[in-house]
A and B are shown apart, each in its own frame.
Chain A
Amino acid sequence: MQSATQDWPGTTRRALSGGVLLVAGLVMLMICWSYPVGNLTQMGPGYIPRVVGFLICALAVAIIAIDVATPEAAQAGRMHPRGLIFVSTAILLFAGLIDIAGLVPSMFLAVVVSMFADDEARPLPVLIYACLATLGGWLLFLVVLELPIPAFWR
């Protein structure tokens, strides 16, 4: 991790967060450019988006300038690749399965996968814990709260 990021030129790395914001502002302007703008008394739906887009771009440029000028302030926090991967997969699995497989299997898989975001997770405790958590979820959501979601595939 450390060596990979240090290969980058320092200025580029420092300008990264402001740069992403600038890109977001530009994309926003590009999309809303075709919306009817109107004038100040009769504002169309495109008026405010355009103002906000320009402001975001302006602030992004200012942020880049500040970050490049003060290197010690532009330090990025530590990344958590494990957390990112397993938490994302768990939520995507839930989203993909909930309509097909029902609530119970989706909850079970989401718990199992998300538990591996912790680097000390071991298979057997994870399985036991996931069963208990799924049982608790079934009791809470379907028995107590009676949410209108099928428990299993039909």
Chain B
Amino acid sequence: MIDQFLLGLSVVLQPEILMYAFIGVFIGQLIGVLPGIGAITAISLLLPVTFYLDATTSMIMLAGIYYGSQYGGSIASILLNLPGTPSSVVTCLEGYPLAQRGRAGLALFVAACSSFVGGIVGVAILVLAAIPMTIIALRFGAPEYAMLVILGLLAASLIGTGSQIRSFAMVLLGIALGLVGADATTGYYRFVAMPEMADGISLVSLAMGLFGVSEIIRNASRRSPPGPALSITMRDVFPTRAEARSLVLPIVRGSGIGSFFGALPGTGAAIASFMAYAMERRFSRTPEKFGKGHLPGLAAPESANNAAAQTGFIPTLTLGIPGDAVMALIIGALILNGIIPGPRLAVDQPELFWGVIASFFVGNIILLLINIPLIKLWVLLLRVPYQKLYPVIIVMICVGVYSHRTSITDVVLTLAFGVLGYLMKNYRFEPAPVMLGFVLGPLLEDNFRRTMLLYGGDFTIFLTRPISAMLVACSAVLIVLALWSGISAMRKPVHSTP
């Protein structure tokens, strides 16, 4: 394992690849800082660029955008109370009160350090888990893949915020959109309204529409608050010894929670940070301090989302199953570059597999180094009004989608998905499960059909194969937990009303 990691490091430390790793994490941090542009938009914009790079380099760059945005997201949360990424919503709760008390420098420093520790813990777990997971994954057959996808889709709709039944409906809508085009087994055209749709709906169109265009429609006339006037001196940045000691355990717990939820398919950094915050609050001896600028409440979710951003690559790289919407896009990029992610990846392309993993280690160090010294630059960026940004984003979306397949239909479809995503959010339907259903749907159909064909339509096969049975058990536990929490949530208002 050490040998493979060193092989990976030797790949990353080539000057050209190192440069793309730096570009990736820098862009990631940049778009993480800017509210309204997420990692999904940035990665879809850069997809066309990756056709000119080899697979390893593009993967390293795109992954860098993802975990880099987790660092940047905390900056806007702390300074402006605006979450730059979905996973930094809880960072606002503790970070912004700290900034209001004049301790923004401390909050930023603690956020950066916990992010770094979380990220490194996540990378370490990824390195440790990669080989065992690949060995297990090589024993995966069609039933296991089908069950794992079902577990991931269930987790995506049952864990997290918002209505579970609505999320599940959106997963199904995503699967339905994924059905468009030629059927993989028989070549039969399904739901093809125009000849341009014969290849299916483009992943880029769907992602840019649901996450990019819809947010622009919503925020075009939003007035952003004036950027903070900030003068950070080195003196305010460092925590006192007692404060530093109080952070050790929350960071360890946050990294643990983050690593777990990141590795679970269907849940990602956003859910991990929520869970870490809730957990920290529940087990704290001073829960009344939360919400007023309590440092452990800042450190735990910050380490959790960065750990999750790294361990999220465990199912992505070893099984080819994305954990969340961003991972789905990264898998799409790999496939577009002619590489099928899955258990064979580590065996057939060790340079790519370990190079990407080692790049996370290097990338986290780069992020820690550029985070604090460049804080003035990030603050300056936050002063750029959204009205100057969004027209440029629209043009980048249009050109990105158009150049991807030179298709006008794709541009129009992007707009359609943008309006759809906008309306969905207005009626409290989340767009992320759609994306996951879209990518995982074809995998599910293919493996389910193959299972039924191989085992003569016998459903007990899912219970008699050990790995598959374990996955069934996990899904059952998830459903029971969800029902239980749903029922107890329904009971609560009855008790509280006299």
Contact = CB atoms under 8 A, between A and B. Distances in A.
Interface in B212-267: 213, 216-221
A76 B391 CA distance: 27
Given A31-B191, A149-B403, A83 B221 contact: yes
Contacts of A103: 399
B427 interface: yes
A45 interface: yes
B contact residues, range: 35 or more
B175 interface: yes
Given A87-B220, A147-B48, A63 B165 contact: yes
A118 B221 contact: yes
B124 interface: no
Given A45-B183, A87-B213, A99-B408, A130 B391 contact: yes
A95 B408 contact: yes
B220 A32 contact: no
Contact of B190 (A32, A76, A95): A32
B460 interface: no
Interface string B376-398: 00000000000110111011111
Contacts of A45: 183, 185-186, 188, 190
Interface in A106-130: 106-107, 110-111, 114-115, 117-121, 129-130
Contacts of B426: 76-79
A58 to B, nearest CB: 9
A contact residues, range: 35 or more
Contacts of B402: 94-95, 98, 149
B425 A41 contact: no
B224 to A, nearest CB: 12
A interface SS class: helix
A91 B411 contact: yes
B454 to A, nearest CB: 9
B67 interface: no
Contacts of A78: 426
B391 A91 contact: no
Interface string A68-85: 000000001111101110
B312 interface: no
Contacts of B395: 94, 107, 110-111, 133, 137
Interface string B168-192: 1100110110010001011010110
Nearest to B402: A98
B457 interface: yes
B211 interface: no
A23 interface: no
B414 interface: yes
Contacts of B453: 41-43
Contacts of A91: 213, 394, 397-398, 411-412, 414-415, 418
Given A77-B427, A83-B221, A91-B394, A56 B188 contact: no
A106 B396 CA distance: 12
A145 B50 CA distance: 11
Contact of B457 (A41, A46, A117): A41
A153 interface: no
A58 B172 CA distance: 11
A26 interface: no
Nearest to A17: B427
Contacts of A117: 216-217, 220-221, 390
Interface of B: 48-49, 163, 165-166, 168-169, 172-173, 175-176, 179, 183, 185-186, 188, 190-191, 213, 216-221, 387-388, 390-392, 394-399, 402-403, 408, 411-412, 414-415, 418-419, 422, 425-429, 445, 448-449, 452-453, 456-457
